[in-house]
């Protein structure tokens, strides 16, 4: 039996727009039950998500290896759809790894990363899903360059609102361009964040996570919980809250004991009716188990 497990990802990390991602220990698991006359996908997402070859995982697998023998696969997932935790990226990665394993593993991780980025459009979610931990990546000239940085020892407080926020809608809130001076300021913050992450200057990392100028300002009204959670964290002396991906999920990074206190405080707020998770960072990335 073949089992593939792909972690959720939290992208952007504030100013690291479309380039920085973190793998979190919340998994999508795909299990191959055996050959089938046609592709059959058992999953928990309901009838609006295809159960056959039209499923994103299977479409992605067939885009890599078109002549795969159809299989009966079972998918379980803790990752909510359209919430900013990389649900589409995990599906893409699972499909690519499924094809690679069924074909005898002819593709390297770098080749899978390139294919995943081409499918997703940018590497900030797919790179940590494949490689694990904290990854800074770029996609230019049809090539992906990904650099793994030291994995922080923090945990992640994850607040998932009940309402979906589609990436397309979140993207529409962004400006088509930034003024030159604003772009320089935004870039300098992002560059400093990467340098702080690379050199483990964690006390510098946390405030930089909250200084984004690329996207959070423009999405602020779409995710009112961001300001509430950041303000609550500050009242507890905690810094390091950001909008995960395109939202609406909100992540705060820090020591687990501090994040427990933060969640206890947030749960007293009747306006925050979503789901809470306290997750470790997943340092391994996609995992394959054969039995």
Q: Is 230 annotated as a binding residue?
A: no
Residue 34, classed as helix, strand or coil, is: strand
Which residue carries 């770029």 as its tokens?
Answer: 138
Which residues, in sequence order, are bridge partners of residue 35?
71
Report the pLDDT value the prediction gives residue 81, as an integer from 0 to 100. Answer: 87
Q: Is 176 annotated as a binding residue?
A: no
Gap between the Cα atoms of 97 and 176, Å rounded: 35
Q: Is 15 annotated as a binding residue?
A: no
How many other CB atoms are there within 10 angstroms of residue 119's CB atom? 20
How far from 10 is each of 41, 47, 85, 141, 184, CA to CA, in Å? 26, 27, 5, 25, 24
Q: Is 69 annotated as a binding residue?
A: no
Q: How many residues are listed for the chain in this entry?
A: 291
Report the pLDDT value the prediction gives residue 229, as an integer from 0 to 100. Answer: 98
Q: Is 81 annotated as a binding residue?
A: yes
Contacts of 216 (CB under 8 A, 6+ apart): 14, 226, 242, 243
Q: Is 83 annotated as a binding residue?
A: yes
Q: Are 102 and 68 a contacting pair, CB within 8 Å?
A: yes
Report the pLDDT value the prediction gives residue 47, as an integer from 0 to 100. Answer: 87
Q: What is the DSSP letter of 220?
A: G
Q: Is 90 annotated as a binding residue?
A: yes
Report the pLDDT value the prediction gives residue 66, as an integer from 0 to 100. Answer: 97
- Which pTM value belongs to this model? 0.95
Residues of the chain with CATH 3.30.230.10: 2-150+282-290
Gap between the Cα atoms of 280 and 123, Å rounded: 21
Q: Is 80 annotated as a binding residue?
A: yes
pLDDT in tens, the chain (291 residues): 999 999 999 999 999 999 999 999 999 999 999 999 999 999 998 888 999 999 999 999 999 999 999 999 999 999 998 898 999 999 999 999 999 999 999 999 999 999 999 999 999 999 999 999 999 999 999 999 999 999 999 999 999 999 888 778 888 999 999 999 999 999 999 999 999 999 999 999 999 999 999 999 999 999 999 999 999 999 999 999 999 998 999 999 999 999 999 999 999 999 999 999 999 999 999 999 998
CATH 1.10.3720.10 fits 2-150+282-290, yes or no: no
Gap between the Cα atoms of 214 and 212, Å rounded: 6
Per cent of the chain over pLDDT 70 is 100
Starting at the edge strand that comes first in sequence, how are the strands of the sheet with 241-243 ordered?
241-243, 250-254, 155-160, 275-280
Q: Is 36 annotated as a binding residue?
A: no
Which residue carries 């820090």 as its tokens?
Answer: 254
Q: Is 186 annotated as a binding residue?
A: no
How far from 279 is each of 78, 158, 175, 227, 268, CA to CA, in Å? 12, 7, 32, 21, 20
Residues of the chain with CATH 3.30.70.890: 155-280
How many other CB atoms are there within 10 angstroms of residue 100's CB atom? 22
Hey, what CATH topology would domain 155-280 get? Alpha-Beta Plaits (3.30.70)
Report the pLDDT value the prediction gives residue 82, as an integer from 0 to 100. Answer: 82
Gap between the Cα atoms of 163 and 233, Å rounded: 22
How many other CB atoms are there within 10 angstroms of residue 185's CB atom? 15
Q: Is 47 annotated as a binding residue?
A: no
Report the pLDDT value the prediction gives residue 165, as an integer from 0 to 100. Answer: 80
């Amino acid at each position: 039996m073949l089992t593939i497990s792909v972690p959720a990802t939290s992208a952007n990390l504030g100013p690291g727009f479309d380039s920085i991602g973190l793998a979190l220990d919340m998994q999508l698991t795909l299990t191959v039950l055996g050959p089938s006359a046609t592709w059959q996908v058992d999953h928990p997402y309901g009838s609006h998500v295809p159960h056959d070859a039209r499923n994103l995982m299977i479409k992605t697998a067939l885009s890599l290896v078109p002549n795969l023998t159809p299989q009966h696969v079972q998918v379980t997932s803790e990752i909510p759809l359209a919430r900013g935790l990389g649900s589409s990226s995990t599906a893409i990665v699972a499909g690519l790894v499924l094809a690679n394993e069924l074909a005898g593993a002819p593709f390297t991780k770098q080749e899978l990363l390139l294919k995943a980025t081409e499918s997703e459009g940018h590497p900030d979610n797919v790179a940590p899903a494949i490689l694990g931990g904290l990854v800074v990546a770029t996609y230019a000239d049809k090539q992906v360059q990904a650099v793994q940085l030291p994995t922080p020892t923090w945990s992640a407080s994850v607040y998932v609102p009940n309402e979906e926020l589609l990436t397309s809608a979140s993207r529409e809130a962004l400006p088509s361009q930034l003024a030159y001076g604003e772009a320089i300021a935004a870039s300098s913050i992002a560059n400093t964040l990467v340098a702080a992450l690379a050199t483990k200057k964690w006390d510098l990392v946390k405030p930089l996570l909250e200084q984004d100028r690329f996207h959070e300002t423009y999405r602020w009204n779409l995710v009112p919980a961001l300001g509430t959670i950041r303000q609550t964290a500050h009242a507890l002396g905690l810094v390091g809250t950001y909008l995960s991906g395109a939202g609406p999920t909100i992540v705060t990074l820090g020591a687990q004991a501090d994040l427990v206190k933060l969640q206890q405080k947030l749960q007293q707020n009747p306006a925050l009716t979503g789901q809470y998770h306290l997750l470790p960072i997943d340092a391994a990335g996609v995992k394959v188990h054969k039995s």
